[in-house]
Amino acid sequence: MSVLEGTAHVYGPNVDTDVIIPARYLTSTEAEELAQHCMEGIDPEFVSRVRPGDLIVAGRNFGSGSSREHAALAIKGSGVACVVAESFARIFFRNAINVGLPIVECPGVTEGAQTGDRFRVDLGAGSVENVTKGRTFRATPLPPFVQEILDAGGLMPWVARQLAREREVRVGVAPEEPAQADWRLD
Amino acid sequence: MSGLTITEKILARAAGADVVRPGEIVMARVDLAMGNDVTAPVAIARFRELGVERVWDPSKVALVPSHFVPAKDIASARLGMTMREFAREQGIEHYFELGRGGIEHILLPEQALALPGMVIIGADSHSCTYGAVGAFSTGVGSTDLAAVLATGKIWLRVPDSVKFVYEGRPGPWVVGKDLILHVISQVGDDGCAYQAMEHTGPALRYLSMDSRFTLTNMAIEAGAKSGIIPPDEVTLAYVRSRQEATGRHLPFDVLASDPDAHYAAEHVIDVSALEPQVSLPSLPSLAQPVSTAERVRVDQVFIGSCTNAKLEDLRMAAHVLRGRRADPRVRLMVIPATQEIWLRANEEGLLQVFAEAGATVSTPTCGACLGGHMGVLGPGEVCVSTSNRNYVGRMGHPSARVYLVNPAVAAATAVLGRLAHPDELGVEPPVLEPAAVGASEGGAQGDGAGGADARTGGGGA
């Protein structure tokens, strides 16, 4: 599991997807293009300041509002290595996992944090350290199933694997039967 | 099996299980998948990358151009082309072209495609709206939609349910919008994060389906995964009338929460004590009674969106605007939610009332709500809107300010040029009849029209 270290861009609570990528840019579907307007609604200087490997550190309810996946794509496209937030809105959480943008839920992480602070995120150990301020926080572990999607490289590779498995079942066991693999996970 | 909420029952059926419990992750079969012109093109790209040739079931897919329609520029025209071509290629019959569609969240129930007991997955955050018919319905992003298009299934974590019990009789000018803004102000912008909001209680019998759609529409503004209203006679009358009108008779399941179902929390709201609400910039949770809010001057009034552009909403606004004119300094915009609502509003003379009041009346589109087109706000401008979000920059420039209200408050505001309560104009409020005709006291709550859970099949299915 990787350790990510970078400079943080720090925001408060309720950073919604409208400020991450305003709707007027949603006519584009390309991460690189969307990245040129990332965080424009809340921090117009972000685009000129951000460097590859930087982190976003934010308060609770990050990514609330619109389901636009363009928000996760814009952040990923801008080179941000990881978003650490006190909590995430659920659609953004899914979108980030699905497009392979690392996210870490970490209660208390914004305490004393300022833009420019160095942060170190140990995904394996589940710890987040504000190196500048000398404070360490514990991350909330991902549900094992969500971790499985991440390990597969995102939702599409995971689905591809499931479909391949279904085809094996079909060919190997009951060639006439339609695919009806039991996908229920307990 | 007892002890389950309606949400748990729907998800259990969709997962092929007898029982599911909150926190459990299930693979649910999807009954209806929806994408719009912003989210579907991304989903289509992901779908193609997967190398799957056909969607799992074209009859269960709805594609609705709604956000940047009519196309506002060449880029949005391309998004429309992508959807249209995909619909044609895949044989997706529920593609609703301009002039035959509207805003998806009002359109799909109107088209008798969103029905009780279904699992509905929409690539738009306000997909929670369909919960008003007693469906489990939630919003997702484009990649999740792509996975559904390929497999017909989605992974879901079974949400905790939170119960909202509405008691009393709504006062003058109080509709679904005021209930939900008040609730969000009480629980907070993420107060129901990852949860299902279940709306119940005797006051619901005073809420028409149009009002109920507003109640479930804004579940996402409380951070919820879904909002749901267990079906009652109001729901079933609506569903059957839509089936008759469209000739679409898909089967549906009328489910109810068990009396001993478990809720993570329960909130009781006395609606008779509620006044029309206004959410101040820039969070929906900053709601307070209109009567106590500052009388801020406005530049624009927007009556539209998936939240408040249904026939009842337009009637309410027209009731206030009839014989009056918008303040000369105010731009008033009215955008009916669907083509059918537009036609009905036209027949009833409502569009005439709006136009004579100095409003622009446009073809259905999400338009101004998301700052996409059709009424984008400039620096420092103030807009009073019937939509669902007043975030920074939502409707245009980041310094613009948006206030959320119900349609009657919006109409009164347009006339006076500042935030206003309709009482200030001396208009008699519309008479509120119980929507549930013949409903017994204690009415809409609980076990639905037929009592026990029932499977209802339409004639043509």
User: pLDDT of A85-130, one tens digit each?
Assistant: 999 999 999 999 999 999 999 999 999 999 999 999 998 899 999 9
Report the 3 state secondary structure along B385-427. Answer: ECCCCCCCCCCECCCCEEEECCHHHHHHHHHHCECCCHHHHCC
* Contact residues, chain A, for B27 at CB < 8 Å: 183-185
Q: Which of B245, B259, B227 is nearest to B458 (CA)?
A: B245
Give the residue from B145, B155, B376 with the most A CB atoms within 10 Å of its CB, the best one to mutate. Answer: B155
Residue B198 to residues B110, B270, B450: CA-CA distances in angstroms? 22, 16, 19
Cα–chain-centroid distance for residue B15? 26
CA distance B389 to B394: 7
Q: How far is B369 from chain A (nearest CA, A)?
A: 10
**Type of residue found at B317:** A
CA distance B314 to B357: 13
User: Are the beta carbons of B189 and A184 separated by less than 8 Å?
Assistant: no
Searching chain B, which residue's CA lies closest to the CA of residue A163? B151
CB contact at 8 A, A88 and A101 = no
User: Are the beta carbons of A185 and B142 separated by less than 8 Å?
Assistant: no
> b/e for A19-49, b at 16 or more Cβ within 10 A?
bbbbbbbbbbbebeebbebbbbbbbeebeee
Q: Tens digit of pLDDT per residue, chain B (461 long)?
A: 579 999 999 999 999 999 999 999 999 999 999 999 999 999 999 999 999 999 999 999 999 999 999 999 999 999 999 999 999 999 999 999 999 999 999 999 999 999 999 999 999 999 999 999 999 999 999 999 999 999 999 999 999 999 999 999 999 999 999 999 999 999 999 999 999 999 999 999 999 999 999 999 999 999 999 999 999 999 999 999 999 999 999 999 999 999 999 999 999 999 999 999 999 999 999 999 999 999 999 999 999 999 999 999 999 999 999 999 999 999 999 999 999 999 999 999 999 999 999 999 999 999 999 999 999 999 999 999 999 999 999 999 999 999 999 999 999 999 999 999 999 999 999 876 666 544 433 333 333 333 334 444 433 33
Rg of chain A, C-alpha, whole Å: 18
Phi and psi (nearest 5°) for B183? -60, -45
Angle at which helices A90-99 and A144-152 cross, to 10°: 40
Check CB contact of A25 with chain B, cutoff 8 Å: no
CA distance B365 to B254: 31
CA distance B450 to B158: 26
DSSP string, A141-153: PPPHHHHHHHHHT
**Closest Cβ opposite residue B371 in set A23, A68, A160:** A23
Q: How far is A185 from chain B (nearest CA, A)?
A: 6
Give the residue from B20, B37, B142 with the most A CB atoms within 10 Å of its CB, the best one to mutate. Answer: B142
Check CB contact of B39 with chain A, cutoff 8 Å: yes
Check CB contact of A162 with chain B, cutoff 8 Å: yes
Check CB contact of B27 with chain A, cutoff 8 Å: yes
Q: How far is B296 from chain A (nearest CA, A)?
A: 23
CB contact at 8 A, B41 and B71 = no
CB contact at 8 A, B246 and B370 = no
Q: What is the largest CA-CA distance in chain A?
A: 63
3-state secondary structure of B203: helix
Check CB contact of B237 with chain A, cutoff 8 Å: no
- Centre a 10 Å sphere on the Cβ of residue A107 and count the other Cβ atoms it contains: 14
User: Are the beta carbons of A98 and B370 separated by less than 8 Å?
Assistant: no
Question: % helix / strand / coil in chain A, to the nearest 5?
Answer: 35, 20, 50
3-state secondary structure of B318: helix
| pLDDT at residue number A184 | 35
Q: Which of B104, B145, B117 is nearest to B306 (CA)?
A: B104
- Token duo for residue A47: 């685009």
Searching chain A, which residue's CA lies closest to the CA of residue B125? A67
| N-terminal to C-terminal alpha carbon distance within chain A | 26
* Contact residues, chain B, for A40 at CB < 8 Å: 393
**Type of residue found at B152:** G
Q: How far is A132 from chain B (nearest CA, A)?
A: 30
Cα–chain-centroid distance for residue B93? 23
CA distance B32 to B93: 13
Helices (H), B247-281: none
**Type of residue found at B96:** F
Strand order in the sheet with B94-95: B94-95, B61-64, B32-36, B119-123, B136-139
User: Are the beta carbons of B26 and A41 separated by less than 8 Å?
Assistant: no
Q: Which of residues 131-160 of A touch B (CB under 8 A)?
A: 143, 145, 154-156, 159-160
- Centre a 10 Å sphere on the Cβ of residue B324 and count the other Cβ atoms it contains: 18
Q: Please enumerate in sequence order all residues whose Cβ is within 8 A of that of B362, keeping only pairs 6 or more positions apart, or say none.
A: B333, B334, B335, B374
Tell me which residue has tokens 């306000």. Answer: B126
C-alpha neighbours within 13 Å on the C-beta side of residue B239? 28
CB contact at 8 A, B5 and B160 = no
CB contact at 8 A, B384 and B375 = no
| pLDDT at residue number B441 | 38
* Contact residues, chain B, for A22 at CB < 8 Å: 371, 393
Check CB contact of A75 with chain B, cutoff 8 Å: no
Give the residue from A20, A29, A60 with the most B CB atoms within 10 Å of its CB, the best one to mutate. Answer: A29
Q: Please enumerate in sequence order all residues whose Cβ is within 8 A of that of A88, keeping only pairs 6 or more positions apart, or say none.
A: A61, A62, A63, A96, A103, A105
- DSSP 8-state symbol, B204: G
Check CB contact of B393 with chain A, cutoff 8 Å: yes
Q: Which of residues 276-315 of B touch A (CB under 8 A)?
A: 283
Tell me which residue has tokens 């949005």. Answer: B76
Q: Which of B341, B312, B333 is nearest to B107 (CA)?
A: B341
- Token duo for residue B107: 């359109």
CB contact at 8 A, B383 and B299 = yes
The interface predicted TM-score of the complex, written ipTM, equals 0.92
- Token duo for residue B106: 């009002």
- Token duo for residue B379: 């620096």
Check CB contact of A94 with chain B, cutoff 8 Å: yes
Check CB contact of A107 with chain B, cutoff 8 Å: no
Write the Ramachandran bin of B113: left for phi over 0, alpha for psi from -120 to 50, otherwise beta.
Answer: alpha
CB contact at 8 A, B77 and B94 = no
Q: Which helix (H) or strand (E) holds B233?
A: helix B233-246
User: Are the beta carbons of B143 and A185 separated by less than 8 Å?
Assistant: no
Q: Which of B153, B13, B57 is nearest to A180 (CA)?
A: B153
3-state secondary structure of B296: coil
Cα–chain-centroid distance for residue A21? 15
> b/e for A119-156, b at 16 or more Cβ within 10 A?
bebbbeebbbbbeeeeeebebeebeeebeebbebebbb
Searching chain B, which residue's CA lies closest to the CA of residue A60? B190
| pLDDT at residue number B378 | 98
CB contact at 8 A, A41 and B398 = yes
